[in-house]
Amino acid sequence: MGKLDELFKSKSKKVPLSRKAKRLFKLDKKRTDHVIIQYLTQKYTVRWLLQKVVGGNVVIIDNKVHELNPRNMFRDGKRTWYIIKEIDRKPVSNEDYDRVKARGDSTEADVPLIKAVLGAVQKKPMLENKNIIIVVGVIIIAGIVLWVFFGGGA
């Protein structure tokens, strides 16, 4: 089996987190007015932050204001956090699902495509075609027996 097959068949596992993120999740349990944020910077780095909520639904990170919405919170078991891009005021979410689907960028149609590609790439080994091997073997043996009895020996 390939790695993709193992990924499709494996059960969902918890998100692996860095030590800093684990420490922040422990601190978050103690502080009710703070939220955990996975901050995606313009330099393509990820920062885990514990930020104080200001004004009910606003977080300020590096003098940039970001809005919070409880529907945009990501969950993994008991852990919850927001994913916020540095360049965007609103958190990452699935709210624009209809627009993504209308553009044709939805990944829902990819599953049959991936299975078709994997089926075309993976060739069946010769031992899996046992029926064909057995039929060919019987025909060869029958041919040898007929040749010996009816015309091959004289």
Upper half-sphere CA count for residue 142 (Cβ side, 13 Å): 6
- Rounded to two decimals, the pTM is 0.57
CA-CA distance, 108 to 127, in Å (whole number)?
Answer: 35
Residue that wins the pLDDT comparison between 15 and 54: 54
Q: What is the maximum span of the chain, computed from C-alpha positions, in angstroms?
A: 105
Q: Please determine, for residue 86, whether its predicted confidence score (pLDDT) is greater than 60.
A: yes
Give the start-to-end residue ranges of the domains of the chain. Answer: 13-85
Residue that wins the pLDDT comparison between 17 and 56: 56
Q: Please determine, for residue 129, whether its predicted confidence score (pLDDT) is greater than 60.
A: yes
Q: Is residue 84 within 8 Å of 91, Cβ to Cβ?
A: yes
CA-CA distance, 41 to 55, in Å (whole number)?
Answer: 24
Residue that wins the pLDDT comparison between 2 and 87: 87
Residue that wins the pLDDT comparison between 140 and 22: 140
Q: Is residue 48 within 8 Å of 39, Cβ to Cβ?
A: yes
